[in-house]
Every structure is written in C-alpha cells, then in structure tokens.
Amino acid sequence: MRSLKVMALVAMIALVFCLGAQPAAKPTPIKVLLITGDDVSAHPWREMSETTREILVNSGKFDVKISEDPLILESATALKNYDAIVFTIYSAKLTELPGQAQENLLNYVKEGKGFFVQHLASASFPKWEEFGKLCGRKWVMGASGHGPRAVFQANIVDKQHPITAGLADFEVDDELYAKLQGDAKIQVLVTADSDWSKKTEPLVFVQNYGKGRVVHNAFGHDRKALMTPNVQKIIARGTEWAATGKVTE
C-alpha cells in the first residue's frame, strides 16, 4: 500500500515538472495594415513598403497585410481587424480622401488604435488639414525640403521612451527631412542637424491623438536607409508602441 502511495506521489511530481517545462504560449501577433500606393515622385515605393513589411515580420511580433489602395480606409469594418495602420508612401495620384475615409481614419485612432506614418507619407492629402494634425508634423510641398542625400548622424534625444530606450546615436545614409510644418504638441525622440535648414530637425516623434498613439518616422527614402539597424528598431518598436502603448523585448 505504501509503495502505491509513493508511486502516486512520484507521478504527481513528474506531472508538475512536465507542466512547468511546457513552452510559454506564443503571443498573439499584432495585426498591422500597411497602406502604400503608386508614388509618382522619386521613391521606389514597392521596395519601401516591402522592406518595411520585412522589418516588421522579421521581428516576430506582427501579422502584416499590405494594401496598395488607400481607399480601404472607406471601410470601417475592415479597419477594425487591425491594431495599427502603417502609412508608408505619398500618393500623388489620390490627392484627396473621400469624407467617409477621412472620418474612419480619424475615428480609428481616436478610439485607441495606432498610426505610424513614414517618410514622405505625411505629404499626402494636402488639402486635408486634420491629416497634418494627425501626423504631428507634415511635409508641405514648397516649404519642407532637404539637402542632398548623405550620411548624417541621428541623435537620440529621449532615452527614456520605450521606442528609443537603450539606443545610441547612429549614422544613416538617407534624406534629412527639414522644415516639416505644424504646431501640434509632439514628443521628439530623434533629431539631426540639417545643413539645408541650419536647424536641428525632429526626425522621429510621437503624440497622442484621442485615445490612440501616433508615431512619425521621417527616415526611409529607400531600402538602404530602411535597413539601418537602429531605423529597423525604430520601425518595429514604433509600430508596437502605436498599437499597444508599450514595447516588449
């Protein structure tokens, strides 16, 4: 009888150890809608969108769908499937969004979802004033600009924010955007000194919009710029923060 009890106890202990050894459940992927389009300016837009998707997928945290039609924003039902929208490209062909699409995008963010806008994408929809406010700062044709593409130093000015925590200043071969327009209250994370504007320019910054979170990343002229290690980290961390309000390592 005693031997049976001992055997039962050993079996229970073994079961506990086996259960404890089970791998942790894989986190649910963050669902991202990456909106791109036919950029008629000097950008290789498919290369840029595919590289951004690659960065997000390779982080292991995201499930990314690419839409080459910004009019997907007309469907509020479609947007509900995603935790964040990543807007990567300036669409010169679609200069205005229909009213329903505008309303859906603003409500999507106001109600607590994320919006990540990258490089020249902030120049989209020039007549839509609220889009500029959503982006925090906006590229305005004829006012914003940059000098020749070159290697320059980007400076981490907020070392406490989850997106930039632990990152060091870095060099990047890219366009240094300058004179972005707007007066919204933003939290600047990364800057660089522009020879073109003779000013220190904000290149990565965040803001709250309603209950949602916005990240503006001015890096990313092409794949070479996007593949800079710290730029990759900013994209992955920034998208996660926009979607969830935190960054996990």
pLDDT in tens, 128-148: 999 999 999 999 999 999 999
Q: Note whether residue 236 is domain-resident.
A: yes
Q: Is residue 18 part of a domain?
A: no
Q: What domain count does the chain have?
A: 1
Asked whether residue 15 is assigned to any structural domain, the reply reads no
240 within some domain: yes
Question: What is the pLDDT at residue 71?
Answer: 92
* CATH code for the domain in which residue 84 is found: 3.40.50.880
- The reply to whether 35 falls in a domain is yes
Quick check: is 2 in a domain? Answer: no
In tens, the pLDDT along 72-117 reads 999 999 999 999 999 987 877 778 899 999 999 999 999 999 999 9
Residue 206: which domain range? 28-244
pLDDT value at position 39?
65
Instruction: Measure the CA–CA gap between 33 and 79, rounded to whole angstroms.
Output: 8
Q: What is the mean pLDDT of the chain?
A: 90
Percent of the chain with pLDDT over 90: 80
For residue 9, being part of any structural domain is answered with no
29 neighbors 63 (Cβ within 8 angstroms) = yes
Could you list the beta-strand ranges (E) of the chain. 30-35, 62-67, 84-87, 114-118, 150-156, 170-174, 187-193, 200-209, 212-217
Using alpha carbons, list the distances in angstroms from residue 242 to 25, 73, 131, 133, 164: 23, 18, 17, 16, 13
Residue 19 is assigned to a structural domain of this protein: no
**CA distance linking residue 58 with residue 64, whole number of Å:** 11
Mean pLDDT score, 59-75: 95
Give the C-alpha separation, 185 to 205, whole Å: 10
Q: For residue 176, what are its two tokens?
A: 């240094």
DSSP 158: -
